[in-house]
Amino acid sequence: MAGALLRVICPTENASFAAPTLFSLVPKNGSQVRGYSTVCSRLKFSTGVSAAASLSSLVANPPGSSEKKVYEVVLKQAALVKEQKKEKILDVITGNDQAESMTRGDLLNGAYNRCGEVCAEYAKTFYLGTLLMTPERRRAVWAIYVWCRRTDELVDGPNASHITPKALDRWEQKLNDLFEGRPYDMYDAALSDTVSKYPVDIQPFKDMIKGMRMDLKKSRYKNFDELYLYCYYVAGTVGLMSVPVMGIAPESKASTESVYNAALALGIANQLTNILRDVGEDARRGRIYLPQDELAQAGLSDEDIFKGKVTDKWRSFMKGQIKRARMFFDEAEKGVAELSAASRWPVWASLLLYKQILDSIEVNDYDNFTKRAYVGKAKKFASLPIAYGRALMHGSSKLAEPARS
Ligand SMILES: CC(C)=CCC/C(C)=C/CC/C(C)=C/CC/C(C)=C/[C@@H]1[C@@H](COP(=O)(O)OP(=O)(O)O)[C@]1(C)CC/C=C(\C)CC/C=C(\C)CCC=C(C)C
Ligand SMILES: [Mn+2]
């Protein structure tokens, strides 16, 4: 079943690019790029950079330029949320939010439901989590999930060996089209609708494609600054795409920037964990997603990774890497309480589940060459009530309240 679905959702290399307007139903979203330069010049990257920089300096690395670059996107996203709050009030006054036709609604429902099916097939636990969200938010997260999954499948899926930069250009053009209300297929139609309703900017989506481009041509990372940028591209972006849809609690006192920063940190933490889990698997594909300078400082070389022997040097290197990933999780945890009530539980659940992969690497005595660290079913189930408790206790509002923002 998964294989069949994969073929369906994996965008085919040969698909004609003329992007027929199969679902040209979505109004042009003209509200994507506003307020960016003002916010940037006012905040001068200060808050987020210092948070991320203090993390990266922990393991022998000076703060680098990637964090500044990424923080610009965070500020831009945060500015969009503020803009949309104003627009919503205007819509209520003018009645614009009731202007959708019935036909469009039916087609879109079908498209969203397909996104839900894909999500349920590929990410069961996460899908269950989304069921706790309001129906509107849930289907929007599904649409984002499917686009991310399809993008990842381009370079990680069964057709990955045929993927060229040109194919990614075509994928990016489809992205531009869907943001302008010209979706290519029904999954895109769902996302096109989502981005017209929520303050989601195109930049994180483009950046994810950039990450896939990077993956096509790069198999080594000189230092943590380079790795950080890669992690932002392929995973930090997911955090930035998700927050506008999951919503910030209306009663949250935190700055929008700080919530985006936490979301970014969760993406980075997840990706770093993913990398540490998959060291052996990646090495067998000739790839090493570890900072080369830190490997050298630990007295380790690429050869040691390819040999895959767990030595004291390797253990000590891994301890540092795990510590850094946990710091990003800690940074992320600060932001979950600020999300709208119904979104906190699924985010806590996914955070706790992913973080436990790090514990599992330790239990495996740092053998991530031949053993794949995983979280067993019992632990997975145990995490759900823990996540619920945290969502209930550390929140700006009670869980039972409907999300409003
Ligand atoms: C509630 C929740 C988790 C929402 C996010 C839903 C969403 C849109 C997920 C998309 C995930 C996806 C398909 C990304 C494509 C790139 C990719 C595969 C990244 C890796 C994920 C792990 O997937 P997997 O194990 O399948 O990877 P492999 O195929 O094995 O390589 C990543 C490691 C990163 C995923 C990143 C996130 C889920 C970011 C989550 C951040 C938030 C939801 C923000 C929360 C907000 C605050 C304030 C903390
Ligand atoms: Mn992948």
Measured from the CB, is residue 108 less than 6 Å from ligand 1?
no
Residue 98's pLDDT is: 53
pLDDT-derived band at 78, boundaries 50, 70, 90:
confident
- Counting ligands in written order, the one closest to the CA of 124 is 1
Q: Is 42 helix (H, G, I), strand (E, B) or coil?
A: helix
Instruction: Record the tokens describing residue 12, joined without a space.
Output: 């085919």
Q: 357, 373 in Cβ contact below 8 A?
A: yes
pLDDT-derived band at 45, boundaries 50, 70, 90:
very low
Mean pLDDT of 352-367: 97
Q: 54, 215 in Cβ contact below 8 A?
A: no
Residue 94's pLDDT is: 43
Measured from the CB, is residue 262 less than 6 Å from ligand 1?
yes
Atom of ligand 1 nearest to the CA of 149: 13
Q: Which helix (H) or strand (E) holds 319?
A: helix 312-336
pLDDT-derived band at 84, boundaries 50, 70, 90:
low
Query: Residue 388: is its pLDDT beyond 70?
Result: yes
246 C-beta neighbours (distance < 10 Å), count: 27
Mean pLDDT of 279-289: 97
Measured from the CB, is residue 126 less than 6 Å from ligand 1?
yes
Query: Residue 202: is its pLDDT beyond 90?
Result: yes
Compute the residue count for the chain.
405
Measured N-to-C along each axis, helices 135-156 and 165-179 cross at an angle, to the nearest 10 degrees, of 160
Residue with more model confidence, 27 or 59:
59
Average pLDDT across the chain, whole number: 82
Question: Ligand 1 center to residue 37 CA distance, Å?
Answer: 29
- Counting ligands in written order, the one closest to the CA of 211 is 1
Nearest CA to ligand 1 atom 43: 239
Question: Ligand 2 center to residue 41 CA distance, Å?
Answer: 36
Q: pLDDT above 70 covers what percent of the chain?
A: 77
384 C-beta neighbours (distance < 10 Å), count: 18
Measured from the CB, is residue 335 less than 6 Å from ligand 1?
yes
- Summarised one tens digit per residue, pLDDT across range 48-74 is 334 444 444 454 444 578 888 898 888
Measured from the CB, is residue 242 less than 6 Å from ligand 1?
yes
Q: Phi first, then psi: give them for residue 369, nearest 5 degrees.
A: -90, -45
Residue with more model confidence, 169 or 81:
169
Mean pLDDT of 274-297: 97
Residue 22's pLDDT is: 23
- Counting ligands in written order, the one closest to the CA of 339 is 1
Mean pLDDT of 382-389: 89
Q: 168, 29 in Cβ contact below 8 A?
A: no
Separation between Cα atoms, residue 233 and residue 184, nearest integer Å:
24
Measured from the CB, is residue 9 less than 6 Å from ligand 1?
no
Measured from the CB, is residue 48 less than 6 Å from ligand 1?
no
Mean pLDDT of 67-86: 78
Nearest CA to ligand 1 atom 15: 148
Query: Residue 29: is its pLDDT beyond 80?
Result: no
Q: Is 221 helix (H, G, I), strand (E, B) or coil?
A: strand
**Beta-bridge mates of residue 221:** 291
Query: Residue 391: is its pLDDT beyond 50?
Result: yes
Residue 66's pLDDT is: 87
Q: pLDDT above 90 covers what percent of the chain?
A: 62
Question: Ligand 2 center to residue 157 CA distance, Å?
Answer: 8
Query: Residue 386: is its pLDDT beyond 50?
Result: yes
Give the CA dihedral 254, 255, 260, 261, nearest 10 degrees: -90
User: In sequence order, what are the residues at sequence separation of 6 or more whose Cβ sits closer than 8 angstroms to the Cβ of residue 273?
Assistant: 325, 354, 355, 357, 358
What's the whole-model pTM score?
A: 0.82
Residue 301's pLDDT is: 98
Nearest CA to ligand 1 atom 18: 152
Mean pLDDT of 167-194: 97
Residue 3's pLDDT is: 42
Q: In a 10 Å sphere around its CB, with 0-12 CB exposed, 13-18 middle and 19+ buried, how is residue 155 labelled?
A: buried
323 C-beta neighbours (distance < 10 Å), count: 13
Atom of ligand 1 nearest to the CA of 267: 39
Question: Ligand 1 center to residue 343 CA distance, Å?
Answer: 15
